[in-house]
Chains A and B, each alone.
Chain A
Amino acid sequence: MTYSTTTSANSRPVARLEAHRIVLIAIGIALAATAAALMRWDWLPNYYALAIEGLWRTVLILIVTCAIGFALAVPLGMAQVTGPIWLSLPAKAFCTVIRGTPLLLQLWLLYYGLGALFPHYPWIRESNLWPLFRQAWPYAILALSLSCAGYEGEVMRGAFAGVPLGQLEAARAFGMSRWKVFRRVWLPQAIHKALPTLAGETVLQLKSMPLVATITVVDLYAVALRVRQDTYVIYEPLLLLAVAYMTLTGVLVWIFNHLEARIPVRVG
């Protein structure tokens, strides 16, 4: 008796359409139908185009900041594992500071903090880069990239440290150069090890995307806010936003699962 209760939790068949699931799905559909019927959706056509633009911007910022973040995370992780102290210490400090403070604060520090310093340095406004600096999105990209680098740098540190030393020694024994060892053995193995965690970090990054709306970047969340401000409809745009983010998260998880499945695992 005891045996069956302890194991039933893990050995239950998954993804079977049992009777109670059909009921649950029916309840879910009924809830969605009530929401669609009873809540106010008349604003939807007016904001459709804006919402698509916001969605596109959200996805674009996610891709760009994740790419930059990961490119920074590899050296950050490497520096902490094998770097000399004058490299590993700043790298560690950077990761600690980024991970130890709220992203919202980092964002506001960069946007409003730097903005408050501009009037003191007139030459910034005369420089060629001013048209870039005066917009909001470079600050959003910078803050989110640094944040991503901080979190993923920590992940990569663990992943680099986790590659067995024997593998690296074997590669060296084959006469590979240090760079080649890194490129052919160390990095691929570390990424493979870290992939599930990186997927999680990317989902977290996606979920912090709405914060950019607080520094006047018009993303998907900002569009939902605008609907609320224009029409005073509170819950409907937020619910739709939640559904949109759930879909994005689903797509992201699917992509990462696909990626993981493509890496062959050899069992020796």
Chain B
Amino acid sequence: MTESLLLPLAQTGVFELLAPTPPGWGGNLLRGFINSMGIGMGAFALGLLIGTGGAYGKLYGGAVLRDLLKVYTTLIRAVPELVLVLLIFFAVPDVINRTLDTLGYRPIDVSGLVAGIAALGLVQGAYATEVLRGAILAVPQGQIEAGRAFGMTPTMLMRRITLPAMLPFAIPGLANLWLVATKNTALLAVVGFNELTLETRQAAGATKAYFTFFMAAGVLYLLLTLISNIFIGRVEHWARRGLPPIAESR
């Protein structure tokens, strides 16, 4: 029975299929993995940037800005990522090129990488805004007031007090966002961007070894998550230095 179960796998030769050099498709998977990582990191960074601005805007901005940010975070978080990715992936190059066209410039090539980062980054930004806003609110207000009383400028206050003090509160949420970012890159397969999931599908389609390749890609994603978790643990430990340890069961 086990022999017959393993037969289809053995027939195709798992290791030959996954070899990193041409007769094997391992190289393609790795290239897709690197593309996924690039998009994930870019989107996460863009999300952090939007999130920091958004959080400050929501806390200290004027009434109009706050309402606009509220609309942004609510809308983005209520619509499926796939739909947003499709909308942004087509709309961003379209809008850019139409603007350039009306201004009399030649259309530029918005690569799939840039459009992908823009699409996922805008989604990440909405979540990051909420995470960072919560983290800033969790900083004891007395610390910020004390900073002001010392005559710190707003930038210095942010650099010296708010950012380091909010970090321990922000890291769990941000870590979760990073993991979401890496997994969301798979959605770009649907718009034809060559990230890990699409490369996997192409390899599987060419060799008919669907099971082998999807499993291999799953292992790659899982490794990324597990390695990230170790790294996140270290960062959290570093950010929480000097704070009392959290009890194991909440």
Asked if the two chains touch in their complex, CB atoms less than 8 Å apart, one says yes
Name A residues whose Cβ lies closer than 8 Å to a Cβ of B. Answer: 2-3, 5-7, 9-10, 18, 20-21, 24, 96-97, 99-106, 108-109, 112-117, 120-121, 158, 161-162, 203, 206-211, 214, 221, 234-235, 238-239, 241-242, 245-246, 249-250
Min C-beta distance of A263 to chain B, whole Å: 20
Query: B100 in the interface, Cβ–Cβ < 8 Å?
Result: no
Contact for B80 among A5, A21, A209, CB less than 8 A:
A209
Provide a sorted-by-A list of 27 A–B residue pairs whose CB atoms are within 8 angstroms. A2-B149, A6-B141, A6-B145, A100-B179, A100-B222, A100-B224, A100-B225, A101-B218, A102-B197, A103-B183, A105-B214, A108-B214, A112-B210, A112-B214, A113-B211, A116-B8, A116-B208, A117-B8, A203-B77, A203-B78, A206-B80, A207-B79, A207-B81, A209-B80, A211-B82, A221-B83, A235-B90
Closest to A112 in B: B210
Query: B246 in the interface, Cβ–Cβ < 8 Å?
Result: no
**What is the predominant secondary structure among interface residues of chain B facing chain A?**
helix
Query: B221 in the interface, Cβ–Cβ < 8 Å?
Result: yes
Given contacts A112-B214, A113-B210, A209-B80, contact A20 B63 (CB under 8 A): yes
With a CB–CB cut-off of 8 A, which chain B residues contact A117? Answer: 8, 211
Q: Evaluate contact between A221 and B210: CB separation under 8 angstroms.
A: no
Q: Evaluate contact between B208 and A120: CB separation under 8 angstroms.
A: no
Q: Evaluate contact between B79 and A242: CB separation under 8 angstroms.
A: yes
Min C-beta distance of A149 to chain B, whole Å: 17
Q: Evaluate contact between B214 and A109: CB separation under 8 angstroms.
A: yes
What is the CA–CA distance of A99 and B221 in the complex, to the nearest angstrom? 10
What is the CA–CA distance of A138 and B174 in the complex, to the nearest angstrom? 35
| Contact size range, B | 35 or more
With a CB–CB cut-off of 8 A, which chain A residues contact B197? Answer: 102, 104-105, 108
With a CB–CB cut-off of 8 A, which chain B residues contact A109? Answer: 210-211, 214-215, 218
Query: B144 in the interface, Cβ–Cβ < 8 Å?
Result: yes
Name B residues whose Cβ lies closer than 8 Å to a Cβ of A. Answer: 4, 7-8, 59-60, 63-64, 67-68, 71, 75, 77-84, 86-87, 90-91, 137, 141, 144-145, 148-149, 179, 183-187, 189-190, 197, 200-201, 204, 208-211, 214-215, 217-218, 221-222, 224-226, 249-250
Q: Evaluate contact between B221 and A238: CB separation under 8 angstroms.
A: no
What is the CA–CA distance of A211 and B190 in the complex, to the nearest angstrom? 9
Closest to B249 in A: A161
What is the CA–CA distance of A206 and B77 in the complex, to the nearest angstrom? 11
- Of B4, B183, B197, most buried by chain A (CB within 10 Å of CB) is B183
Min C-beta distance of B121 to chain A, whole Å: 17
8 tightest A-B CB contacts, nearest first: A100-B225, A102-B186, A109-B214, A249-B78, A116-B210, A113-B211, A207-B80, A102-B183
Closest to A252 in B: B78
What is the CA–CA distance of A234 and B240 in the complex, to the nearest angstrom? 48
Min C-beta distance of A201 to chain B, whole Å: 12
Min C-beta distance of B107 to chain A, whole Å: 17
Min C-beta distance of B115 to chain A, whole Å: 14
Closest to B75 in A: A246
Closest to B228 in A: A100
- Of B90, B184, B211, most buried by chain A (CB within 10 Å of CB) is B211
Min C-beta distance of A113 to chain B, whole Å: 4
Q: Evaluate contact between A24 and B68: CB separation under 8 angstroms.
A: yes
Given contacts A214-B190, A235-B90, A246-B75, contact A20 B83 (CB under 8 A): no
With a CB–CB cut-off of 8 A, which chain B residues contact A214? Answer: 190
Given contacts A9-B60, A101-B221, A158-B250, contact A2 B83 (CB under 8 A): no
Min C-beta distance of A17 to chain B, whole Å: 12
